């Protein structure tokens, strides 16, 4: 069993993002298995760190004891390529790949090429690459990482109480940072085209991490005449978000890019029917019984799916029944931690 694990994460571990939730839950479950797991919080400026942030990261990595397993979150990985290459001879570097930063939606070509080169160098120095979603595997193929050095460890889901719902007007919930990848503008345009008007949408997720996208979403809410129907709630704490799930009748997500789809899994854990796009593991999670799925970027099909779900209460009820069946099959965080522990234990044995 590995005796020393250090997880290096960009910014605070308690940030309300999917990646941070994954990191935090892995730390909690590994510690319960008596693995000595330390968290090192890097500067929040990653993945585009200041020089001061890089200097601090150099010192933080140098302080990790020789022989330890150093797990580096993908948001910091490429920016730390030189540091990782230098420390790889004394540490067992594990790349925790939520998504290659070079594949981020909206990144310009020159920047993406530079980031990809840095990520390639960091991945070449890694003893193990842990991928948190099956959809990231094709993206990782271009980095020429040997398959034997890749482990797939998808997220778990916490048990949750069934949502009680609101029913009239139909309460829609969307959870995700307002950024270019999450598709909020597409969702708003689709909803604006739905003939049924008895609905309200709450969007829970940061309004500050991508200020330009948040500004466009605010403008769309106004120009589409949805100001009375849409609430941009921003980041919510655990209790407030749980209350949103409890009030919801339907979970909606027009995301353009996911490696898994943790928010969809959480919605299913609450027994909520889903209208979403087919990216990441969403199709696998929802299946044919718990929601209506549409291709990424197809506003017309999203409008049709939303129209069906909003106009037909019996359809929503059938999909909710399907979601309740699916919730019993969702993988747990204990299952996810088991897979992580197996991957790290094998690395320790062969280190």
163 assigned to some structural domain: no
- Separation between Cα atoms, residue 255 and residue 296, nearest integer Å: 7
| Domain carrying residue 221 | 170-327
* pTM, entire model: 0.92
164 assigned to some structural domain: no
88 assigned to some structural domain: yes
Q: What is the mean pLDDT of the chain?
A: 94
Q: pLDDT grade, residue 32 (50/70/90)?
A: confident
The pLDDT value given to residue 2:
46
Identify whether residues 323 and 338 lie together within a single domain. no
Percent of the chain clearing pLDDT 90 (strictly above): 87
What is the helix (H) or strand (E) element at residue 145, kind and residue range?
none
Strand partners, 277: 294
Identify whether residues 189 and 151 lie together within a single domain. no
DSSP state of 79: G
Count of residues making up the chain: 351
Identify whether residues 341 and 212 lie together within a single domain. no
Number of domains in the chain: 2
Identify whether residues 138 and 235 lie together within a single domain. no
Identify whether residues 221 and 88 lie together within a single domain. no
Digit-coded pLDDT (tens) for 265-282:
999 999 999 999 999 999
Percent of the chain clearing pLDDT 70 (strictly above): 98
165 assigned to some structural domain: no
Does pLDDT of 314 surpass 60? yes
Q: pLDDT grade, residue 197 (50/70/90)?
A: confident
Sequence-ordered list of residues with C-beta below 8 angstroms from that of 213, at least 6 positions apart, any chain:
178, 179, 180, 184
Identify whether residues 338 and 231 lie together within a single domain. no
CATH of the domain at 275: 3.40.50.2000
Identify whether residues 123 and 14 lie together within a single domain. yes
Identify whether residues 226 and 123 lie together within a single domain. no
225 assigned to some structural domain: yes
Please name which of 138, 23, 153, 152 lies closest in space to residue 75, comparing C-alpha atoms. 23
Question: What is the average per-residue pLDDT within 331-346?
Answer: 90
Identify whether residues 114 and 181 lie together within a single domain. no
Strand partners, 6: 38, 70
Identify whether residues 33 and 142 lie together within a single domain. yes
162 assigned to some structural domain: no
The pLDDT value given to residue 144:
92
53 assigned to some structural domain: yes
Question: What is the average per-residue pLDDT within 77-82?
Answer: 96
Does pLDDT of 1 surpass 50? no
Identify whether residues 11 and 37 lie together within a single domain. yes
Q: pLDDT grade, residue 15 (50/70/90)?
A: confident
Identify whether residues 23 and 149 lie together within a single domain. yes
The pLDDT value given to residue 167:
82
Does pLDDT of 349 surpass 60? no
65 assigned to some structural domain: yes
Question: What is the average per-residue pLDDT within 209-229?
Answer: 96
Digit-coded pLDDT (tens) for 95-153:
999 999 999 888 888 999 999 999 999 999 999 999 999 999 999 999 999 999 999 99
DSSP state of 253: E
Give me the DSSP letters along 11-56. Answer: S-TT-SSHHHHHHHHHHHHHHHTT--EEEEEE-TTTTS--HHHHHH
Q: pLDDT grade, residue 226 (50/70/90)?
A: very high
């Amino acid at each position: 069993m590995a005796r020393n694990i250090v997880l290096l994460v960009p910014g605070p571990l308690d940030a309300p993002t999917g990646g941070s939730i994954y990191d935090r839950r892995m730390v909690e479950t590994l510690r319960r298995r008596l693995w000595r797991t330390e968290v090192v919080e890097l500067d929040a400026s990653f993945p585009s760190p200041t020089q001061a942030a890089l200097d601090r990261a150099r010192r933080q990595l140098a302080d990790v004891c020789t022989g330890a397993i150093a797990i580096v979150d993908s948001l910091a990985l490429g920016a730390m390529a030189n540091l990782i290459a230098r420390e790889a001879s004394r540490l067992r570097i594990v790349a925790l790949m939520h998504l290659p930063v070079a594949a981020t939606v909206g990144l310009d070509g020159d920047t993406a090429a530079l980031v990809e080169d840095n990520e390639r160098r960091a991945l070449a120095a890694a003893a193990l690459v842990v991928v948190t979603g099956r959809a990231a595997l094709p993206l990782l193929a271009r980095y020429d990482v040997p398959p034997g050095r890749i482990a797939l460890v998808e997220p778990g889901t916490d048990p949750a109480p069934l949502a009680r719902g609101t029913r009239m007007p139909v309460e829609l919930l969307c959870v995700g940072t307002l950024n270019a990848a999450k598709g909020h503008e597409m969702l708003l345009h689709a909803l604006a085209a739905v003939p049924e008007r008895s609905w309200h949408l709450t969007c829970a997720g940061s309004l500050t991490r991508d200020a330009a996208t948040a500004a466009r979403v605010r403008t769309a809410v106004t120009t589409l005449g949805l100001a009375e129907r849409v609430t941009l709630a921003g980041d919510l704490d655990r209790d407030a978000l749980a209350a949103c799930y409890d009030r919801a009748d339907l979970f909606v997500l027009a995301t353009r890019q996911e490696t898994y789809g943790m928010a969809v899994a959480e919605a299913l854990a609450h027994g909520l029917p889903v209208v979403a796009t087919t990216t990441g593991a969403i199709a696998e999670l929802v299946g044919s019984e718990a929601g209506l799925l549409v291709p990424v970027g197809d506003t017309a099909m999203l409008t049709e799916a939303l129209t069906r779900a909003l106009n037909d209460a019996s359809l929503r009820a059938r999909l909710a029944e399907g979601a309740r069946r699916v919730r019993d099959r969702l993988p747990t965080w204990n299952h996810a931690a088991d897979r992580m522990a197996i991957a790290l234990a094998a690395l320790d044995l062969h280190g």
